[in-house]
Structure 1
């Protein structure tokens, strides 16, 4: 999804506009689509069609025969890496594709991405690189088709250019569609660079001390790694799931497609344009650019008129700073449309962050159920059922005025401003709010008897939350 497509995608939705809320929604979506966003850079892939097929000889021979039927233009240069040496199947491979390079090696590790794959095997218990090597004319591979019983790439989201097809699934209809993708993955390709990384405020490690590892635990692609105690993100593996952004406590990793301040600018304009003509109790329905968008294109006509669709690349790229800011700007509820294909680590991260944000709202008496994950499989598509599904949320009309502050670039500042606004006049005014254990908020405890005021903690704090007292021998703490 390019940001230029947002206006056309919003306009394409078959949303009703028979009542006042519907007409207000039309104005809101048009206003939001007109908001300009900061462009991000692109990541380029190049594929010449060098394909590695991995697996047992019998399965590989069947696949090679099918590939030759599909790849009439012969854009693929096929090499096979066999775990056995079944003579009949081996002959079938050579007959189907005489130019095939045949290597007898049980590949057990695949690294890389579209246009730059490396293959590894164990020899006497030691890992050895098989490609690039002399066995492959010192070339790596652009594409990998893995026919092993279990995928060699175990991340929930595989790298671009890697396809896994279990041998027992070769007769299924979907296998033909999967194989048909391979010739289409030859050429030059581009995708957005989804993230920005500011290592200066990263809380992963400072001066030999290891701290936060939240992003490492939730990335579904394996794009994030700790190298020399420093977080690094591989832009070729990153596919924009966004869970790292949601869980990052400092905002060191931020989304870039679009940047959060631009997304909030769009939300703010949308809610303002909806409210001005009298639109009531707006529910923000956050959905992704593929499955969610397709569902809305088919069933959007049955969506209640007070539900405002918000298109994002992936729902995982939103977090408490976005949801709470949307409430502060006047949304009655924020619902995330989970289509079932969201990777498990991303869904787990979303659920965790929703619990934290809900605890903050409940602590203020603002009703944490204003934020929720809405499962697509639970939604019926007729107008009556859909209206009923959103009715409970419609009753939660905001009893606070829309916030006037501008969207901020810093995550902690977005959270602070949103919470300050929601706390103003809230039914409850607690001195503190108990949060789940995995919350990215906490306290600093200083053992006064042992503290020498050496200021080492001041030097290592990535958020500059701990400050020296200047001319006075003391430590100061800035909570936000």
Structure 2
């Protein structure tokens, strides 16, 4: 199926004319493109003609997305409609006249088929909201929300009168714990105040008799003023709402939504769960969050962002913990320990992809979209860019929300004459669901495809651990590129909150050296396979070809070093290795190692009972990385009875030395030098001899 491209120079504010249309058409493998001037106004007919068919339609305008969508609906159009921004990302800026290759690249990427659908995660909310906070803040919002939602209130302090009418459940407490997500929150707290608001009838008897005036119409006792007369307890009488010695203080409740009006959020996660809102004391934010909250009633779906392959996971074996990278980086606490593997809670996952970026084995993969689909987009961007005559391309990977906002503001500021250059012509923005959603496999592939820079843009929206993880992973990629002799800086983390900061950092990007021959492979589904493809291409065309490259700690490649004097070849490390990097030899006492398989998880190091193993992060670039290397071997010990080899000489000697003085073995120490079969035979013969001796004694 063909694709129709609708391009507009936005009232002649971009350098797009007839000649530019011809060049764009040539780069896109199509006839010359017609360039409109007012596609959203006088020339809307061109758009309507395009959507009357069934071909895909790519509109090079995102500002008027809503208008074009509405126009298509008036025609009952069935044509797939896509939008791409070529204005703020390149058409507006100091280098706009040189940005045509980038525009062609963005148009080509927008024309790609939609990614494969992914499983979804469902939520169901009946609108039962718990409002938490001081009475003066929580009660007014509870009254407003009660018109449309099923409201409960948990007061953390008094100071405001409770409503005359008991129109919603009201609790008080401290030590609040919140667990769950939209439609499935469980909240626990302690009934700290002597007055239980759900039992209290609000008769004011306690208020009247309190000699210290420690009780007001919030019906909570100010313990700093109370002198324990207990007149209030007597006044409450059989109602029993006041108890200074309450044993049962634990309270719990299930809610669909949580509106936390505490000064500091109870949940301190950088990415709190869906359905939790914590605007604090800011009145404007309270109103905004209340509006969002009121709309979260019904059934909702989101993509399941990740794929987990437990067989590849290097988290743990036999009770030992190895790699914890995914758990450490997750800002939503969606990843947790689960025996020898990990568990990812899809309801808490926000789709940042940081866990997949740091996963050394590829056990966790990003699914929205999958790596091969993102790889195809990167490859299309770069190949089209080169075809259109571009050179030294830089990819600017950014989140689709805050990152895109900063880029668009930069483009508008450059057009408005604010002394900002805008996005350089060679810098191609790559929108991602989240800035942390790509990693070494895609970055190295981009370099193999000809990108001279891969920059990842983060803003204040990203969690601090994401920034640290991205910086560490980018440093690994740069170490590899530099170790292969590619000159310059290729992989960069940009931190910008404003258009001015981004403008300054983009101006500092200098092209790194890329391979002269661009790769043709497609990004593989398996992360390790994808990295192998990229590394093989980069090595084949590298200015330098070292045997190995030393890498930073926690890199996903490396060697295992064994202290032969300490190692007893017990093979505990072989049983612990999740990637088959460490192997035994069934026919000989040998510990072997395949370096290409190693992910440096550290399970072997932690499992070794002799502390004989250490790790060396590095990238071995010779063929020997794929071949089994003997790390340690020993002379086999031969059974003293049948001469069959079993165990190792060192192991048997150590065992005999340690057990010879033990009372249970002292009389049968020679048996330790026998194989299993001979040991049984010797035990039976010894038993027979003892039996014969006993019979003779009886006779």
The TM tier, using the shorter chain, reads: 0.7 to 0.9
1: CA distance between counterparts of 2:298 and 2:546? Answer: 59
Equivalent of residue 185 in structure 2, options 114, 117, 121: 117
2: CA distance between counterparts of 1:11 and 1:470? Answer: 61
2: CA distance between counterparts of 1:127 and 1:370? Answer: 62
2: CA distance between counterparts of 1:234 and 1:275? Answer: 42
Q: State the match for 1:31 in structure 2.
A: 108
Q: State the match for 2:500 in structure 1.
A: 380
1:282/1:394 contact within 8 Å kept: no
What are the Cα deviations for residues 402-442 of structure 1, in whole angstroms up to 9, with x where unaligned? 11222111112222222232233433333332222232333
Distance 1:25 1:53, change over 3 A: same
Quote the offset at 1:112 in angstroms: 0.3
Q: State the match for 1:478 in structure 2.
A: 594
Q: State the match for 1:434 in structure 2.
A: 550
Instruction: Give TM-score, length-normalised by structure 1.
Output: 0.86
Equivalent of residue 164 in structure 1, options 278, 300, 311: 278
Q: Does 1:193 align with 2:313?
A: no
Q: State the match for 2:363 in structure 1.
A: 252
Quote the offset at 1:266 in angstroms: 1.3
Quote the offset at 1:189 in angstroms: 1.4
2: CA distance between counterparts of 1:34 and 1:466? Answer: 46
Distance 1:236 1:20, change over 3 A: same
2:182/2:275 contact within 8 Å kept: yes
Larger mean Cα displacement after TM superposition, 248-257 or 22-31: 22-31
Aligned residue for 2:179, secondary structure, equals strand
Q: State the match for 1:75 in structure 2.
A: 148
2:489/2:512 contact within 8 Å kept: no
CA RMSD of aligned residues (A): 2.9
Quote the offset at 1:119 in angstroms: 0.7
2: CA distance between counterparts of 1:243 and 1:149? Answer: 30
Quote the offset at 1:454 in angstroms: 4.3
Distance 1:127 1:35, change over 3 A: farther
2: CA distance between counterparts of 1:63 and 1:367? Answer: 60
Equivalent of residue 91 in structure 1, options 162, 168, 188: 162
What are the Cα deviations for residues 56-77 of structure 1, in whole angstroms up to 9, with x where unaligned? 2222123324x34xx7xx3211
Equivalent of residue 62 in structure 1, options 140, 144, 160: 140
What are the Cα deviations for residues 216-272 of structure 1, in whole angstroms up to 9, with x where unaligned? 111000101113343000000000112111111111111110111211121112211
Larger mean Cα displacement after TM superposition, 316-325 or 391-400: 391-400
2: CA distance between counterparts of 1:405 and 1:377? Answer: 36
Equivalent of residue 143 in structure 1, options 257, 277, 281: 257
Aligned residue for 1:292, secondary structure, equals helix
Structure 2 alignment gaps of length 5 or more: 1-57, 59-64, 66-79, 193-245, 413-421, 597-699
1:55/1:83 contact within 8 Å kept: yes
Quote the offset at 1:393 in angstroms: 3.4
1:202/1:250 contact within 8 Å kept: yes
Distance 1:126 1:239, change over 3 A: farther
Distance 1:75 1:123, change over 3 A: closer
What are the Cα deviations for residues 271-291 of structure 1, in whole angstroms up to 9, with x where unaligned? 111112321111111111112
1:82/1:102 contact within 8 Å kept: yes
Distance 1:378 1:182, change over 3 A: closer
Aligned residue for 1:263, secondary structure, equals helix
Aligned residue for 1:157, secondary structure, equals coil
1: CA distance between counterparts of 2:564 and 2:398? Answer: 49
Equivalent of residue 119 in structure 2, options 17, 36, 41: 41
1:466/1:476 contact within 8 Å kept: yes
Q: State the match for 1:135 in structure 2.
A: none
Distance 1:91 1:319, change over 3 A: same
1:41/1:193 contact within 8 Å kept: yes
1: CA distance between counterparts of 2:435 and 2:157? Answer: 44
Q: State the match for 2:462 in structure 1.
A: 342
Equivalent of residue 449 in structure 2, options 326, 329, 333: 329
1:284/1:334 contact within 8 Å kept: yes
Aligned residue for 1:155, secondary structure, equals coil
Distance 1:446 1:174, change over 3 A: same
1:280/1:306 contact within 8 Å kept: yes
2: CA distance between counterparts of 1:451 and 1:127? Answer: 57
Quote the offset at 1:354 in angstroms: 1.5
Structure 1 alignment gaps of length 5 or more: 133-139
Q: Does 1:422 align with 2:538?
A: yes
Instruction: Give TM-score, length-normalised by structure 2.
Output: 0.60
Aligned residue for 1:285, secondary structure, equals strand
Q: How many residue pairs get matched?
A: 453
1: CA distance between counterparts of 2:564 and 2:248? Answer: 51
Distance 1:338 1:466, change over 3 A: same
1: CA distance between counterparts of 2:97 and 2:262? Answer: 57
Aligned residue for 1:305, secondary structure, equals coil
Distance 1:28 1:456, change over 3 A: same
Query: Which structure has the larger Rg?
Result: 2
